[in-house]
A = this chain, B = another copy of it.
Amino acid sequence: MNSQAKLPIGIFDSGIGGLTVVRQIHKVMPHEDLIYLGDTARVPYGTKSPTTVVRFACEDTQFLLRAGVKAVVVACNTASAWALATLQARFAIPIFGVILPGVEAAVGQTRNQRIGVIGTSATIRSQAYRKAILARSEAVKVYERACPLLVPLIEEGWIQHSVTLSVLHEYLEPLLRHDVDTLVLGCTHYPLLKRAVRSVVGKNVALVDSAQTCAYYVREQLADAGLLNTRRRQPGLIHPHVTDDAERFTAIAGRFLPAPMAPARKVHLPPMGSEC
């Protein structure tokens, strides 16, 4: 075990969606301490431009590095889509995104070579999923759809609401008409809608949960690098940080995380220089 292995894993997202990744990472690596940063003062990232998303992601990563993490997980599809390469070039620490693990799972699961991808406007505009899928298999056809209303519906708590089902029908029917047999839930909020999505797509479409696939991927990568914390017996601690007030975060966080966590701390992110 590497001497760095005892350090916490850093995880960031634009807001609370990344807690689905925290949940899965805590499940598959229960001994790891986790430092979470939700950039709730500037949420969402999914409607913003690439330049702005890259700037925010650099500031988030810088914060986690200063907090002494051994690796960073970009628990946000939008930031993974636009900023991962820049972060990996800029910071000397392992940095993992959510897109690659989801792509590998989808390509492994499809039988008819027709994969659907849903995500925020920015994620879909980036074509990050399409490019990564086609890089693995040119035979696959990829059908994408931006679903900008799903995050607000989840944050409103309308998880099983008839309006949410109508919105899902409108968003997903064009993908179903293309006969996709695998659907990537390409936003870390979406696992909360899994049951509603299932009721719209039926039982023959495989759902790829990018939070879950990411957790397995990170465990594998950390193990390969000797960075897994294998020595501790007790469960790891989850330390959440937010850039807006902690109150609303704590209220909503319960929907994402069944495990108890420390109260969220409000932090200020100093802007990066021009280098990022």
Contacts and interface: CB of A to CB of B under 8 A. Distances in A.
A48 B52 contact: no
Please classify how large the interface on chain A is, using the bins under 10, 10 to 19, 20 to 34, 35 or more: 20 to 34
A275 interface: no
A166 B155 contact: no
Nearest to A248: B49
A52 B47 CA distance: 20
A47 B155 contact: yes
A265 to B, nearest CB: 14
A163 interface: yes
Interface stretch (A61-69, A146-154, A197-205, A230-238): A146-154
A274 B43 CA distance: 23
A149 B51 CA distance: 27
A60 to B, nearest CB: 14
Given A152-B149, A155-B148, A162-B166, A41 B48 contact: yes
B52 A41 contact: yes
A52 B244 contact: yes
Contacts of A155: 47, 148
Nearest to A50: B245
B244 A49 contact: yes
A111 interface: no
Given A42-B41, A149-B153, A48 B244 contact: yes
A97 B158 CA distance: 32
A245 B153 CA distance: 26
A241 B148 CA distance: 24
B153 A49 contact: no
A170 interface: yes
Nearest to A39: B42
A223 interface: no
A152 B154 CA distance: 12
A51 B245 contact: yes
A220 interface: no
A93 interface: no
A145 to B, nearest CB: 12
Given A155-B47, A170-B163, A245 B149 contact: no
A85 interface: no
Interface centre among A50, A153, A243 (most CB of B within 10 A): A153
A28 interface: no
Nearest to A161: B170
A173 interface: no
A155 B248 CA distance: 24
A276 interface: no
Q: What 4 A-B pairs come out closest when comparing CB atoms?
A: A49-B245, A152-B152, A52-B244, A42-B42
